[in-house]
Amino acid sequence: MKWLIGFLWLLMVAPLEAEQVNVAAASDLNFAIKEIIQQFERETGHKVRLTLGSSGNFYAQIVNGAPFDVFLSADLDYPRQLEKSGYAAPGSTSIYGVGGIALWVRKDSRIKPDTKGMKALLEPSIKKVAIANPEYAPYGRAAIAAMQKAQIYESVKNKLVLGENMSQAAQFVQSGAADAGIIALSIALSEPMERTGLYWVIPRDNYPPLEQGAVLLKRGGTEAKAFFDWLRGEPARRIFEKYGFGQ
């Protein structure tokens, strides 16, 4: 009888031990969050399933019942709204970093963004400019604000090609589907983008602050809480800073 009780106990515990943390993260975090998850899994033994996309789409999915445990947004508004509406643990919204944007071109481009800055987008050779869709992505809204600040938006708006999220916008310009892109600094700082392109960091006073927030969703269990706490710890902070998420 004892062995049977022990066997049944193992059956009950096994699914809990195998439970993974489902994380939704804005695509500007592509490189940073993967590095954070790798370190978290290595040091804790917990498993994380990551989904990357646009913050606005994730917000809509969560409201409609998507099974995420932790949400890392490219802004603070979406996490705050989720907490206010009862979809997230009370008081869990927190800032994990402040993002930046950069003007990026391939190395074979005639344009040198560090010498012309935003005015480079006015060059005749720039036919298409990739940004994230501002309807869903805070980084897309920041890109438009920066162009407006530089007084070039009216001249550039017909050149814009919109990525569904920041990763897709970066892919457009890296692949040659666009001639230039305004992308997340965190992506510009990644090894693949630094190896293949040139970038100019757009001054942060040229667009509203990109304060980025994380929130623990109501369905998150013990493992999700552990990951959420990890995001606010020193190991994660160092990785965020490595990819340009200053405070």
Per residue in 87-141, pLDDT (tens digit) is 999 999 999 999 999 999 999 998 888 888 999 999 999 999 999 999 989 999 9
**Is residue 132 included in any domain, yes or no?**
yes
User: Residue 72: which of 183, 185, 88 has the closest Cα?
Assistant: 88
* 85 and 110 co-located in one domain: no
Per residue in 44-68, pLDDT (tens digit) is 999 999 999 999 999 999 999 999 9
pLDDT at 3 over 90: no
Cβ pair 179, 122 in contact under 8 A: no
* 6 and 94 co-located in one domain: yes
Question: What per-residue confidence (pLDDT) applies to 246?
Answer: 75
* 23 and 80 co-located in one domain: yes
For residue 77, count other CB atoms closer than 10 A to its CB.
Answer: 15
pTM of full prediction above 0.85: no
Per residue in 148-164, pLDDT (tens digit) is 999 999 999 999 999 99
* 119 and 191 co-located in one domain: yes
User: How many domains, the chain?
Assistant: 2
Q: Which residues pair with 201 in a beta bridge?
A: 102
Q: Could you give the CA distance from residue 172 to residue 162 in angstroms, rounded to a whole number?
A: 9
Q: Could you give the CA distance from residue 215 to residue 83 in angstroms, rounded to a whole number?
A: 8
Instruction: Give me the CATH number covering residue 136.
Output: 3.40.190.10
Instruction: Spell out the SS3 assignment of the chain.
Output: CHHHHHHHHHHHHHHHHHCEEEEEEEHHHHHHHHHHHHHHHHHHCCEEEEEEECHHHHHHHHHCCCCCCEEECCCCHHHHHHHHCCCECCCCCEEEEEECEEEEEECCCCCCHHHHHHHHHHCCCCCCEEEECCCCCHHHHHHHHHHHHCCCHHHHHHHEEEECCHHHHHHHHHHCCCCEEEEEHHHHCCHHHHHHEEEEECCHHHCCCEEEEEEEECCCCHHHHHHHHHHCCHHHHHHHHHCCCEC
* 213 and 94 co-located in one domain: yes
**Is residue 21 included in any domain, yes or no?**
yes
**Is residue 247 included in any domain, yes or no?**
no
Range of the domain at 85: 2-98+209-242
* 186 and 215 co-located in one domain: no
Per residue in 7-39, pLDDT (tens digit) is 333 334 334 444 799 999 999 999 999 999 999
